[in-house]
Amino acid sequence: MTDKVFMDTNLWIYLYSDDDKSAIVAELVNQNVDDIILSAQVLGELFSVITRKKLKTLPAATQIVEDIASLYEVAGLDRFSVAKAIQIHTKYQYSYYDSLIIASALENDCTILYTEDMQAGQVIEGALTIVNPFLTNTTN
Q: pLDDT by residue (tens digit) across 69-123?
A: 999 999 999 999 999 999 999 999 999 999 999 999 999 999 999 999 999 999 9
For residue 85, the tally of other CB atoms under 10 A from its CB is: 25
Bridge partners, residue 73, by sequence: 37
Bridge partners, residue 124, by sequence: 128
Residue 82 pLDDT: 97
Distances (CA, A) of 47 to 37, 68, 71, 97, 99: 17, 11, 16, 16, 20
Kindly report, residue by residue over 56-70, the tens digit of the pLDDT. Answer: 999 999 999 999 999
Query: Residue 14's closest CA among 127, 109, 117, 119?
Result: 117
Question: pTM of the predicted model, to two decimals?
Answer: 0.91
The CATH code that applies to domain 5-136 is 3.40.50.1010
Average pLDDT, the chain: 94
